[in-house]
Homo-oligomer: A and B are copies of this chain.
Amino acid sequence: MPVQVSAGLSVPAERSRGDQCPIDRTVQLIGSRPALLLLREAFYGARRFDDLARGVGISEAVAAQRLKELVAAGVLEKAPYQEPGQRTRYEYVLTEAGHELLPVVLGLLSWGERHAPGARSSVTASHAGCGAPVEPVLMCAAGHRVAEDEVQVTAERRQSAR
């Protein structure tokens, strides 16, 4: 399913320094603290507005704004639900594209556990099949597990005026 990205909605990607780098584009979409934390809540299983906002600890105004952006970016989707005796409401569920951000979020989690001082994690990610904990790792197309220092990053710099 094609991820439709905002038909001209509020995402401010345009004005900011037009960078053609996908990293920059992704960061502009989900790179702010509230957005990423909302995403974290979504992975935890939160779906309703109040749960999401409270879990992150931000005001409703900010939550509404960020959720709108995440929906526009195709990361979340509004889906109707109805509790017995309640009227129809909308919850926020992760789209396919949203699920694909899990490696990033788990990468942040994993790094934070190892390098950011503080309380231990209260979160675990496990393989639904076998129950073993899950971690993001690097692999090359040939099937090798790749250590961080075995990666060659090459950028075709052509924009560097000067």
Contacts and interface: CB of A to CB of B under 8 A. Distances in A.
- Contact count band on A: 35 or more
A121 to B, nearest CB: 5
Interface stretch (A27-35, A63-71, A82-90): A27-35
A21 B135 contact: no
Contacts of A55: 160
Interface string A47-70: 000000011010000000000000
Contact of A130 (B24, B104, B140): B140
Interface of A: 3, 5, 17, 19-29, 31-33, 36-37, 40, 43-45, 54-55, 57, 74, 97, 99-109, 111-119, 121-130, 132-142, 144-146, 148-158, 160, 162
